[in-house]
């Protein structure tokens, strides 16, 4: 693999998809796919940390996922809690800060407490940020930001009649984080599915046919290699970039 370590994406965001189909293709239960998916989370976090990726955002549970059968939601919540407890030590050892975005107050109380405790324990680290999108939908995030602004305007805390793009970002869950440079979706689906709609304005999109439980280091490096072969023009011309 020929990665240019000077041209790494600063922020990678991943829509981890295909756990269910991976399990079905093996005649196993969907939950087995999620457990194998959690192993890949560990592998990909480790790989990003080793490469020097500064921000990794993982779409772990969407707002829309609350509509899944209760048994699957319960299994995913139990897995999330277990993962947060088991991986804490590794996060601390590798100086990875864990944060979350989304309407996390909707999570079961024991999961939310484990999440907050992991965030608190890792709050002082700055080698890499692992951002979990939980109970997340981009439209919900944007509307919560708009509603906070309306409330602040009403209360006189926000006095201006104009808001800039940069200032609006401070109202989003991702306040303080750079926009993703590379958004990856696994499992052959070519959709964004309500993920980081505002923040992905100029992200490079990469779609892999591989199901998430099979998406390992090599797959990630392939995605980064493809990213590095693209020209990011941000609306300018190629000639302008070469000057």
DSSP 181-221: SEEEE-TT----TTSSTTTTTTPEEEE--S-GGG--HHHHH
**String of contacts with ligand FPP for each residue 102-141, x by CB under 6 A:** ------------------------------x---------
57 in Cβ contact with 131 (< 8 Å):
yes
> Please, which of residues 139-178 interact with ligand FPP by CB under 6 A?
none
Assess whether 17 carries a catalytic annotation.
Answer: yes
In the three-class reduction of DSSP (H, G, I as helix; E, B as strand; rest coil), residue 23 is classed as helix
User: How far is residue 243's CA from residue 241's CA, in Å, rounded to a whole number?
Assistant: 6
Q: What are phi and psi of 162, to 5 degrees?
A: -145, 145
Specify whether 161 is catalytic. Answer: no
Residue nearest to ligand FPP (CB): 20
Between 112 and 149, name the residue whose CB sits nearer to ligand FPP.
112
Shortest separation between residue 228's beta carbon and ligand FPP, angstroms: 26
Distance CA 92, CA 95 (A): 5
The three-state secondary structure class of 57 is strand
Q: Identify the helix (H) or strand (E) that includes residue 117.
A: helix 109-122
Q: Of the listed pieces 55-63, 107-115, 168-176, 190-198, which binds ligand FPP according to CB under 6 A? A: 55-63
Contacts (CB under 6 A) with ligand FPP, residues 66-95: 79-80, 83
19 part of the interface to ligand FPP, by CB under 6 A: yes
Residues that bind ligand FPP (CB under 6 A): 16-21, 34, 37-38, 41, 58, 60-61, 65, 79-80, 83, 132, 212
């Amino acid at each position: 693999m020929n990665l240019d370590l000077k041209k790494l994406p600063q922020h990678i965001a991943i829509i981890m998809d295909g756990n269910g189909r991976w399990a079905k293709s093996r005649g196993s239960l969907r939950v087995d796919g999620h457990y194998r998916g959690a192993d890949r989370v560990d592998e990909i976090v480790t790989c990003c940390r080793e490469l020097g990726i500064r921000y990794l955002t993982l779409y772990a549970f969407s707002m829309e996922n609350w509509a899944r059968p209760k048994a699957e939601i319960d299994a995913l919540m139990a897995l999330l809690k277990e993962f947060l407890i088991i991986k804490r030590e590794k996060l601390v050892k590798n100086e990875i800060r864990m944060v979350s975005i989304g309407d996390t107050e909707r999570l079961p109380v024991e999961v939310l407490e484990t999440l907050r405790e992991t965030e608190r324990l890792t709050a002082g680290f700055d080698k890499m940020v692992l951002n979990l999108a939980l109970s997340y939908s981009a439209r919900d995030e944007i509307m919560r930001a708009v509603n906070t602004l309306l409330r602040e305007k009403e209360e006189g805390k926000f006095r201006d009649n104009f808001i800039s793009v940069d200032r609006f970002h401070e109202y989003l869950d991702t306040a303080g984080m750079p926009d993703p440079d590379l958004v990856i979706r696994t499992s052959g689906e070519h959709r964004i599915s309500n993920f980081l709609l505002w923040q992905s304005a100029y992200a490079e999109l990469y779609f892999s046919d591989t199901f998430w439980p099979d998406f390992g280091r090599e797959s990630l490096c392939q995605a980064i290699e493809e990213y590095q072969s693209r020209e990011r023009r941000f609306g300018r011309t190629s000639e302008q970039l070469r000057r």
